[in-house]
Amino acid sequence: MVPTFEVIGKTVRKRDGAEKATGRTRYLHDLELPRLAHGRILRARFPHARIVRIDTTRARALPGVLAVLTGEDVEPRPFGFARDQTALKRGKVRCVRDEVAAVAAETRATAEAALELIHVEYAELPAVFDPRAALAPGAPLVHEELGTNAHPLRYRFSHGDVDRAFAEAAAVVEDTYRLPFVTQACLGTMAAIADWDASGGLTMWTTTQVPFLYQRDLADALGLTGGRVRVLQPPVGGNFGRGLDLYPIDVIAALLARRAGRPVRVEFDRVEEFVACPGREPCTIRLRTAADRDGRLLARDCHVTIDNGAYTSWGSTTPYVMLSTVAGLYRVPSVRLDTTIVYTNNPYSGSMRGYGNPESTFAVESQMDDLAERLGLPPLELRRRNASQPGDVNPQGFVLTSFAMTECLDAAAEEIGRDAPPLRPGWRRGVGYAGMFHVGGGARIYRSDGCGAIVKLDDFGTVTLLTGATEIGQGSETVLAMIVAETLGVPLERVDVVNSDTRVRPWDVGTHASRTTFVAGNAARLAAEKLRAELLALAAAQLEEPAASLDLRAGWVSVARDPQRRLAYDAVARTGHFKGGGRVLVAEAFYDPPTAMLDKDLHGNVSAAYTSAVQAALVDVDPETGRVEVRRIASAHDVGRALNPGAAEGQVHGGIHMGLGYALTERLVVEDGQILTQSFMDYALLRADDMPDIVVRLIESVDAEGPFGAKGLGESGVIPVAAAVANAIKDAIGLRFTELPITPARVRAALEARRT
């Protein structure tokens, strides 16, 4: 029997949509505090240099300057993923992003003028910008104390007899894929506000995605206990993974505020955002794939080289996810992966939507098409023969419960063939496919992958959900309210969501890995179920009926066999509050998925569910100019159950936009350690009128563990795009591109090279 829902499965507008559309939303940049001062950061002029002397005398004397700090003025407390950097650098600088000094002043203009007055004397050092050169004997060392530029972080995985599989294969394809620096290009630049109270407690306004981990890490970087740091999260003007780490901007804001004795805001301008925002890591993927004569995959052998940059953030951990694609995107019995992660004097990278998966999917799916060509099979048929199925356990031990990859393949193929636009004279047309494999039920990269929820019902029928989950524009507040409303049986408009203050909200590990709907949704559902039971118990006494015989739907508690005997749910709540020995109607829950961290060999079922998607791209290419125009994208996604279909489709649209930029136009230009791309005029974001016709199909596999059957979707839209477009270009003009972005200049050069 198909369940019927009052709220779930219906398209609901985002709760914050009207506020954002009318300009009423107050982002962190809009916040004003009494006596708020303005902070600015002075960065290194050279990618590698010894700091000989810093003279701040003139800056300190400038009227309106409240505080000037250098690395010599503060305790150097290392922080970050590998604890390999400090907020203000001492001794030497290792990349042009390095923070050399910081100023707080009455106005932003005064702070900027003060930076101009700080004189830094450098002794420039030899630098290294290429990972291979960084590993050569005698290469300049980024961190001398390590004695090498080879990063101690290394991912190695092996399953099955890879060498034998390649020796016995009927077809083998091999290539090297090069992926560039790219940036999130958020409209809201990075910013932080810090304010200390009289007792030494710190309040931070931040755009972090991991407020409780941020609270702990910031406290440690400042030499505090975590309980003395309060984290507030205003609405976010974009993140896409940028907010997963603690960065120098956060620590510097707190240090300046403590020295100035006033709240301080540090915010990046657009140039600084391009220079200092940690985006997607540059990497090189060397991949081999083997298959038998029937097209069954036998093995994959992969080596990933990552330019770590000068310090370690989340970009260097992306092989964790790359491996899941190499081993899990299609059935493959034997897999080997190794990594080389290298310190250079380039900027370091962080986390970005898809988190390593767009990179590895580009390599894997490019080889699926090349392998199909080698075997004389249609590309779609090769994928169908190797598609994973529910019940599979992949080489890493990932257990596929609900999984609808075959259905996604069929849906994408069906949609891409509908109503094709006419082909212009002289242009060439191609169709390309790419699949995707990703976590859909959290990802246990920490000891806990849990989230807390508290649900409270007041006298007037307002239900308040206090959730640990962070809203970063993905619509999580809306879908969590829908889950609570459906579970309780109350109107959606009576549910509020509170999630902006670590002093109030329950704990959560953070917003990442497409986990919020699944993990926070389950926590909200469990808390709402407890509250529903309490409410029905109160109503049972009033209606003189057993609680098991009562129903709560659309805001009414009624007797199941006699629906006319009913009470409004808010009236039941008031009775509980006002009667003798009354009670507060509140319930809490904590959901931690039934998963395990990867062991030392990178085995373990890290997610409670896994999701798939398939995208098909219809692409036209002008051989004369090299111009590539994507005319249509068909995107089919296994969503478990679509709780809010319109919002789900919107997530996919946004992902496709980001993925097309990765495929065709976007590249953060870094040469000799200097970041040359410093404006939106230089960084080629696609505009709205560049977008193709997009068709989204939501495939409902209904996952048993997900809230009402749902699985995560936030990153799925971006992951397969570049691979599908590259495959379509090859279908159109017969050329394989192994480096992104695939610009008109590259297409034209490749066509000219083939003609000669």
pLDDT tens per residue, range 407-452:
999 999 999 989 889 999 999 999 999 999 999 999 999 889 999 9
Share of the chain above pLDDT 70, in %: 100
Query: pLDDT category, 581, cuts 50, 70, 90?
Result: confident
Residue 98: which H helix or E strand, with range? none
Asked whether residue 521 carries a pLDDT value surpassing 80, the answer given is yes
Separation of first and last alpha carbons in the chain: 65
Q: Is the pTM of this model over 0.95?
A: yes
Mean pLDDT of all residues in 731-750:
98
Check residue 584 and give its pLDDT: 86
Collapse the DSSP code of 644 into the 3-class scheme (helix H, G, I; strand E, B; otherwise coil) and give the result. coil
Strand order in the sheet with 202-206: 65-70, 99-105, 37-43, 264-267, 191-196, 202-206, 229-232
Cβ contacts of 202 within 8 Å, gap of 6 or more: 194, 195, 196, 218, 219, 222, 224, 228, 229, 230, 254, 257
* Cα–Cα dist 726/724, whole Å: 6
Each residue of 486-519: pLDDT tens digit? 999 999 999 999 999 999 999 999 999 999 999 9
Q: Distance between CA 542 and CA 492 in Å, rounded?
A: 25
Q: Are residues 439 and 611 in contact, defined by beta-carbon separation less than 8 angstroms?
A: yes
**Mean pLDDT in residue range 199-228:** 96
- d(CA 260, CA 651) in angstroms, rounded, equals 42
Residue 582 banded pLDDT, cuts 50, 70, 90:
confident
Tell me if residue 640 falls in helix, strand or coil.
coil
- C-beta neighbour count of 226 within 10 angstroms: 15
Residue 497: strand, helix, or coil: strand
| Exposed / middle / buried, residue 631 (Cβ in 10 Å: 0-12, 13-18, 19+) | middle
Query: Going along 223-269, which residue ranges are E strands?
Result: 229-232, 264-267
pLDDT at residue 574 tops 80: yes
Q: Are the beta carbons of 275 and 97 closer than 8 angstroms?
A: yes
DSSP state, 85?
A: B
Q: Which domains does the chain have, with CATH numbers?
A: 31-125+184-276 (3.90.1170.50), 283-443+598-755 (3.30.365.10), 450-591 (3.30.365.10)
d(CA 93, CA 221): 19
Taking only the tens place, the pLDDT of each residue in 317-375 is 999 999 999 999 999 999 999 999 999 999 999 999 999 999 999 999 999 999 999 99
pLDDT digits (tens, 9 = 90+) for 83-120: 999 999 999 999 999 999 999 999 999 999 999 999 99
CB 355 within 8 A of CB 513: yes
Q: Write out pLDDT tens, residues 522-571.
A: 999 999 999 999 999 999 999 999 999 999 999 999 999 999 999 999 99
Locate tokens 């407390």: which residue? 77
C-alpha gyration radius of the chain: 27
d(CA 144, CA 165): 42
At 2 the pLDDT is 67
pLDDT tens-digit profile of 283-328?
A: 999 999 999 999 999 999 999 999 999 999 999 999 999 999 999 9
Beta bridge partners of 457: 463, 585
Q: Taking 80 as the threshold, does the pLDDT of residue 1 lie above it?
A: no
The pLDDT of 120-128, averaged and rounded, is 98
